[in-house]
Homo-oligomer: A and B are copies of this chain.
Amino acid sequence: MQVNPTSDEKETGRIEAFSDGVFAIAITLLVLNIRVPQTQEVLPSLGLLTLLLRQWPFFLAFFLSFMTILVMWVNHHTLFNHIRRTDGPFLFLNGFLLLLVTFVPFPTALLAEFIEHSEAKVAAVVYSGTYLCIALAFSALWKYASTNYRLLDKHISRAQVERINIHYRVGPPAYLVAFVVSFLNVAASVGICMLLALWFTYTASFSRRLNS
């Protein structure tokens, strides 16, 4: 099993490259959700500027989903920095995570379309629910890989593993709160998602050297 260690690294390298491709495409497709106003929609009483300003939910959703997918990509890399082997269940869990990542443009567009509508709650539930699932998938992926150093690089210290554990202990409950709140108050739920995106962007950007 340890006859050819480089083959393992090649293997994780491939999964990482494929995942990177999926992240890069999903993040770039988000802009397609922002509809371009048509010339015939502009009336004397309704200028282009007003039309664009009315589309604020689409710009907000674009920004929010971009930040979130970017942070997920950074996290995915941090995670793969510590992994040296792959096996079946890990591949399966990573595939499930990618399924959710490629799905993100849909709840994003749904939220933008309905955020000012009386049925905004349904859209917010789908939106925060998707992110809750992603947070759970990430935690499961890390837990599976790190339990008993199953797929980890042996040179990583227990302290480092523990530091990432803390990171993954925060995500699921935080998105669970956003999910529960979405049944009660749309603005509060979206606000929590936004704060989480900014917070994770901040920690992902500024604590990377600690983790890697």
Q: A-side interface residues toward B, CB under 8 Å?
A: 1, 7, 11, 14, 17-18, 20-32, 34, 36-39, 42, 47-49, 52, 62-63, 66-67, 70, 73-74, 77, 86-89, 91-92, 95, 98-99, 102-103, 105-106, 109-110, 113-114, 117, 119, 122-123, 126, 201, 204-209, 212
CB distance A208 to B117 under 8 Å?
Answer: no
Q: List 20 A-B contacts (CB under 8 A).
A: A1-B209, A11-B212, A14-B77, A17-B20, A18-B23, A22-B28, A27-B98, A29-B31, A30-B102, A32-B32, A36-B110, A39-B113, A42-B117, A48-B119, A48-B123, A49-B122, A87-B209, A89-B205, A91-B205, A95-B205
User: Given A31-B106, A73-B18, A91–B1 Cβ distance below 8 Å?
Assistant: no
User: Given A11-B212, A74-B91, A113–B37 Cβ distance below 8 Å?
Assistant: yes
What 6 A-B pairs are tightest by C-beta distance, nearest first?
A21-B24, A88-B206, A88-B205, A48-B119, A25-B28, A92-B205
